[in-house]
Structure 1
């Protein structure tokens, strides 16, 4: 997971385009948008994170850093 890639997606790609990219990756298809990542798994991780962060920013009226912090806490919790 690379934070600069996630930040770029959040800043430059619409939520509906991210969701379309998520669907494409889940179907093992090439997404219509460029998503940096070493493989499809990392690309999907970046898309998941960007979707979560954008939705959190919109629903809770928080900034990128706050939404990112919540996302990374969720990831840490799920790993441990």
Structure 2
């Protein structure tokens, strides 16, 4: 997971375009925009992260940094 790749998606894509990209990646197809990542799994992680952050920003009226912090805390908890 690379934070700059997630940030780029948050800044350049909508939730709808990211959800469509998620569907395409799950079907082993490439979306119509660049999703950085070494493989499809990492690309999907970046798309999931961007969707989660955009939803959090919208639902809580938070900024990117706050939403990113919440997301990374959830990832750390899930790993441990």
Shorter-chain-normalised TM-score: which range?
over 0.9
- In the alignment, the residues of structure 1 paired with residue 31 and residue 12 of structure 2 have an alpha-carbon distance, to the nearest angstrom, of 15
**In structure 1, how many angstroms separate the alpha carbons of the residues matched to 2:76 and 2:66?**
15
Q: Give the gaps of 5 or more residues in structure 1.
A: none
- Secondary structure of 2:30 counterpart: coil
- 1:28 is paired with a residue whose SS is coil
Cα distance in 2, alignment partners of residues 29 and 5 from structure 1 = 19
Give how far 1:29 is off: 1.4
- Offset at 1:75? 0.6
When the two chains are superposed, the root-mean-square deviation of aligned CA atoms in Å is: 0.7
In structure 1, the residue matched to 2:78 is 78
| 1:69 positional shift | 0.6
Residue in structure 2 matched with residue 53 of structure 1 by the alignment: 53
Any gaps of 5 or more consecutive residues in structure 2? none
**4+ runs deviating over 2 angstroms:** none
Indicate the residue corresponding to 2:40 in structure 1.
Answer: 40
User: The residue matched to 1:37 in structure 2 has which SS?
Assistant: coil
Aligned equivalents of 2:36, 2:72: Cα separation in 1: 19
TM-score computed with the length of structure 1 as normaliser: 0.96
